[in-house]
Chain A
Amino acid sequence: MKKKLLIVPSILFLSILLVFFYLLLIDRNPSEIPSALLGKNVPKFETDSLLKDEKFISYEKFKNEIILVNFFATWCKPCRDEHVYIKRFSDKKKVKIIGINYKDNPKKAINWLKKLGNPYTDIALDKNGKIAIDWGVYGIPETFLVSSNGIIKYRHVGPITKKIYNEINLLINKTN
């Protein structure tokens, strides 16, 4: 009986080890945090538009269409890296892309888009980063997928890679 009891701690220890190894080996990024906004309505905001001479009013923009929201800035190198994929999304008819220009110089942003191409149908200006806080953004680039009834379905922190591009593509096909 006593000897049998002695096996219990070693089994416990082994199972803890297994859990640790599993977490080490699976493909995950521990610094990535699930968004608190998933399944919730898009935050309401009103600001200036970068490209158009009018106000950007969120509840007018987020309806009837699937929208990809992309927080970007010209000073952010990974934003430049993911730009190719954002452009690829703009070729799709099912989705509209809205950019949110985070703490940036509007003139630089316009030049940046002229040089690299503009995949955005509209761009909201977030001069002091307040809109980003409402979206729970903590490190640009960040990308959100919003369904046609204005509900946040997906969020990705960091640049869009080929793998993430494919993931979002699949989601767009599933989303209404």
Chain B
Amino acid sequence: MLQNLNLTKIFAIMLTISFSFFFSNCSYSVEPDEILQDKKQESRAREISKNIRCMVCQNQSIDDSNAPLAKDLRVLIRNKIKEGNKDEEIYNFLTERYGDFILLKPPFKLITIALWCLPFIFFIIGIFILFFHNKKSKKTFKDI
């Protein structure tokens, strides 16, 4: 009985920890004065910001990062949206200056073909290997 209680306690603690991690991921660095009045425009800005790498922190998006440059770029994106720029125009503006590296998701290009296609190729090779291996092992099993 006592042991059971301890287990539920441990389980509860683990659950709280994992939940707090889950929710801590939802915190963003957007400051109140940056937020646009128009909710549609703001959500567009958030969506773009999530795809733009913070060049200072490099593994964070500008939506997560509180580096000064990330803030500058967040404000720049919002200004461009207010001026009526399309999403594509904003992405182009940024890649012209900072290169494809500023996109967290590398674009599908001739030089990134291997990057995008190799996982699928390996997956197919893996299936083939599994398939043939199974066939062979079945045969040996019958022989026995």
A152 to B51, CA, bound (A): 28
**Are B99 and A133 in touch, CB under 8 angstroms?**
no
**Are B101 and A133 in touch, CB under 8 angstroms?**
no
Q: Which residues of B contact A (CB under 8 A)?
A: 55-56, 58, 68-69, 72-73, 76, 95-101
Contacts of A34 in B (CB 8 A): 99
Q: Select which of A128, A135, A138 is within 8 A of B55 by beta carbon.
A: A138
For chain A, the bracket of interface size reads: 10 to 19
Contacts of A36 in B (CB 8 A): 95-100
Closest to A35 in B: B99
Chain A interface mostly helix, strand, loop or mixed? loop
Contacts of A33 in B (CB 8 A): 55, 98-99, 101
Task: Check A37 for interface membership: any CB of B closer than 8 A.
Answer: yes
A50 to B11, CA, bound (A): 63
**Are B55 and A133 in touch, CB under 8 angstroms?**
no
Would you mind naming 20 contact pairs between A and B with Cβ atoms under 8 Å apart?
A33-B55, A33-B98, A33-B101, A36-B95, A36-B96, A36-B97, A36-B99, A36-B100, A37-B97, A129-B68, A129-B69, A129-B72, A133-B76, A134-B97, A135-B97, A136-B97, A136-B98, A136-B99, A138-B69, A139-B55
Task: Check A173 for interface membership: any CB of B closer than 8 A.
Answer: no
B60 to chain A, nearest CB (A): 13
